[in-house]
Structure 1
């Protein structure tokens, strides 16, 4: 089969299209999926630059997100059948091969039926960001109807989904953006207010919007100094969730003085630590989100679809930081 191999850590050009053996089922509970598309995520570019979690297993096939059609099933697979369209997030961290390929072997517990209203490219772009936003808002922050939420970078991959999920949960959403185009998208997705962080102090604006109280929940999808910014704009006894490791200069004093509940969200943890029940929970998230997608309540914004052979170009595009929503690799018609 054709696959894009990461031959060494480095620049995008280390991603090379090669012929490799087609994978076989690895367990009685696994599915062989003929991939139609793969999502491209920041974790892919980070692993490409610095090396994978398993540096002794090179070359590697990157890509956690995938969508395609079931080609074969293990003897104990109960929920899926050959020919069914599915989407999932598994592999691609340097151990199990990822989705930058024509086929992938996936455990049943990680798979969900593809939303019928999405193309394969749109579906492939969805799993990681759906799971991340859901776990951050529902599982970590315990978001409730009637609360106020700040979503940092609301036009990004995770951010644009987080705005919609928060609205579906009955929350009022504010978000930061950097262009008029991103502001328009965020408002279209349900944000009550957008803040251009280039020209406006987000903390001052949020405090004005909340009459000095601060938001109930802040969601940091950016990292660096944004985590401290989130502390400063969150109400006393509020929640802050971050996707990134804290900056050495993080203002922990404000977090402590406000009795904030601070959480971290890494949706890869179940995969990295072999937590089967947590992976099954992530599959349930995909099932629920697929229902909302097919009901027209949740959208996946796909800005670019790039051929598999041009994975390096997709990485350059993502690293440029100007895309709305997500990027996907097209693998087959």
Structure 2
């Protein structure tokens, strides 16, 4: 099979198409013929040598795919050859075929194109786990989503809105802020022109956000805490502004706030299975009835995978970038 592999790992790492042996299904595994693979910032970090795959995962990148079941292991009962599915992976999605535990496979939601479905698994699982499970978002509360124009942000806006929350988000420039508003955000903050702490406090009559979903990391730590309401929950899932930040603990204590950091890729198999099951139970109905839809910026061939990474790095994409074999 063809796969997009990393040649020369490190900051100057490049992607190229290689020929590899096809995967073999274990007892509880599913082999899927890939229709598309989602491109995530974790893939960029892996290519640059900063985010190695977990033990046992393929060396090539790709954390989510959509496609058609090709074959299943002898212990698999739910899936059959020909089923249209999506899957959450530890790696290896940039390939014509993948093998994945049956517990990390989901059906393509009703009404969703098979290719576009690749934009859902990573973002939907990340948002449900971090905003609802960890962040405990409730109807009527305010959530601040950083990076509303990204692959995770576009899904987070829609899920939070569907759950009855008020949504504030950040984006850069009038076109992107308008598109975030069209997805359902109540407040869209142009981070190039506006201070998100001031804007959130103004919109909430001084209370602040009950939940903050943060992809920025260290550079935004202090401001994120200042944006919290009393009893607010800051959930950090990325480090786009660095690994280290400075925090005035008096701000956190005064708000009786919590700061939690999470990763999805390295979770144990049983935790991933629970997150995938919860996502199918709670998010997939929202997708099927049209309240949540994948937002796809571009479909790019495997042979141009390096360009796909450069597009994501540029910050120009709105929603997901997908690779297609």
Taking structure 1 as the reference length, the TM-score comes to 0.91
SS, match of residue 238 in structure 1 = strand
Tell me by how many angstroms 1:268 deviates: 1.4
Tell me by how many angstroms 1:139 deviates: 0.9
Distance 2:56 2:246 in 1: 35
Look up the match of 1:261: 258
Question: 1:171-201, CA deviations, whole angstroms, 9 ceiling, x for partnerless residues?
Answer: 1111111111211111111111111121111
Residue number among 275, 297, 309 corresponding to 1:315 in the alignment: 309
Question: 1:188-231, CA deviations, whole angstroms, 9 ceiling, x for partnerless residues?
Answer: 11111111121111111111111112121111122232222111
Look up the match of 1:295: 289
Instruction: Give the gaps of 5 or more residues in structure 2.
Output: none
The answer to whether residue 17 in structure 2 is matched with residue 17 in structure 1 is yes
Tell me by how many angstroms 1:8 deviates: 2.8
**Pair 285,5 (structure 1): closer, same or farther in 2 beyond 3 Å:** same
1:8–1:59 contact (8 Å) kept in structure 2: no
1:124–1:328 contact (8 Å) kept in structure 2: yes
Look up the match of 1:276: 269
Distance 2:122 2:57 in 1: 24
1:140–1:264 contact (8 Å) kept in structure 2: no
The answer to whether residue 247 in structure 2 is matched with residue 251 in structure 1 is yes
1:66–1:87 contact (8 Å) kept in structure 2: yes
Distance 2:216 2:261 in 1: 13
Look up the match of 1:196: 190
**Pair 61,248 (structure 1): closer, same or farther in 2 beyond 3 Å:** closer
Number of equivalent positions: 321
1:140–1:265 contact (8 Å) kept in structure 2: no
Question: 1:70-98, CA deviations, whole angstroms, 9 ceiling, x for partnerless residues?
Answer: 11111110111110011011131xxxxx1
Matches within 5 A, 1:45-124: 45-53=44-52, 60-92=59-91, 98-124=92-118
Tell me by how many angstroms 1:291 deviates: 2.3
Question: 1:270-290, CA deviations, whole angstroms, 9 ceiling, x for partnerless residues?
Answer: 2xxxx2321211221442323
Distance 2:55 2:141 in 1: 46
CA RMSD of aligned residues (A): 2.0
Look up the match of 2:145: 151
Tell me by how many angstroms 1:251 deviates: 1.4
Look up the match of 1:327: 321
**Pair 87,178 (structure 1): closer, same or farther in 2 beyond 3 Å:** same
2:109–2:288 contact (8 Å) kept in structure 1: yes
Distance 2:232 2:115 in 1: 37
Matches within 5 A, 1:186-265: 186-244=180-238, 247-253=243-249, 254-265=251-262
Tell me by how many angstroms 1:156 deviates: 1.1
1:154–1:175 contact (8 Å) kept in structure 2: yes
**Pair 263,287 (structure 1): closer, same or farther in 2 beyond 3 Å:** same
2:219–2:244 contact (8 Å) kept in structure 1: no
Instruction: Give the gaps of 5 or more residues in structure 1.
Output: 93-97
Distance 1:24 1:9 in 2: 26
